[in-house]
Amino acid sequence: MRRSELVAHPLERLIAIAGWGAMLFLLFPVVFTTVVSFGAGELIEFPPAGWSLRWYAHIGEIHRVGAAVLYSLLIATCAGVLATLLAIGVALCLVRLPVPGKAVIGALVTSPVAVPIVALGIALIQFFIWLGISFTWYSLLIGHLVLVIAYPVRTLVASLSLSNPALEEAAASLGARPLTAFFTITLPQMKPGLISGFLFAFLISFDNYPISIFLVRGALTVLPIEVFNYISQNFDPTPAAFSTIYTLLLALIIVWAERRWSIISLSVASEGGPGGKRSDR
């Protein structure tokens, strides 16, 4: 007993140090970008020699930033809503129905890293060419949908697994038809999963560069592409100012959603995969 305590102590310390180190490492780019964005100089410098807010006023100078924001919002909102709606069906299948091979389906659908993004982008391009679909906002939307659907499936599977199937039976015994029971009982149980699933899907889509760069043509553009284009031609802190605002907004949304619906714990709870916890009767 005493021996193991003696051994454990320095190890725990080491783990704590490693943990803090990793956290700082992860936080550093955010801190760096934020500090840089307030610099007064023409070029990115760290730490800045002088302080100014002028790069925030300069965000509008990013080429086609208005159109890019609108397109990004449109694509991300549509991708988020569609992915969440589709995910309701997928999650219901995975959690409640005796689908053969559902472990495999679940693993595939819930794992966005199962297919490398570059491969996915190439596949999408060829798919659209083969179908003869033009490269416009809805083909980009389809691409984003493929990318983001994993997130709402995950959160919905989690919230469905946590909800008690006896609730629907209780509703039925009280006279609710299956569809009424679904809308009055099942769907409200899925609410945290719906909200967080939509949020994740929206944010992943809004943020996405690699899929977009494959699928964006002509007048269509999205925010990450324009920001990247700006960076490749300029070396002033405007993108840093943009990033700072973006990070702040994101953090606010996530904190608010976590407080209200504990979305982070939900996405962690789904790590076990669909059908992992609940045994079917």
Give me the residues that bind other proteins (CB under 8 A), please: 164, 166-167, 169-178, 180-181, 184-185, 188-189, 191
Residue 61 CB partners (closer than 8 Å, separation 6+)? 238
Q: 248 in helix, strand or coil?
A: helix
How far is residue 171's CA from residue 181's CA, in Å, rounded to a whole number? 6
Q: Which is nearer to other proteins, 141 or 171 (CB)?
A: 171
Q: Which is nearer to other proteins, 76 or 181 (CB)?
A: 181
Q: How far is the CB of 163 from other proteins (least distance, A)?
A: 8
Both tokens assigned to 75: 């694509």
Q: Which is nearer to other proteins, 169 or 271 (CB)?
A: 169
Q: How far is the CB of 174 from other proteins (least distance, A)?
A: 4
Q: How far is the CB of 281 from other proteins (least distance, A)?
A: 8
Q: Which is nearer to other proteins, 19 or 188 (CB)?
A: 188
Contact 55, 234 (CB under 8 A): no
Contact 259, 188 (CB under 8 A): no
Q: How far is the CB of 265 from other proteins (least distance, A)?
A: 16
How far is residue 152's CA from residue 201's CA, in Å, rounded to a whole number? 7
Q: Omega into 274 within 30° of 0, i.e. cis?
A: no
Q: How far is the CB of 6 from other proteins (least distance, A)?
A: 43
Q: Which is nearer to other proteins, 176 or 203 (CB)?
A: 176
How far is residue 198's CA from residue 211's CA, in Å, rounded to a whole number? 19
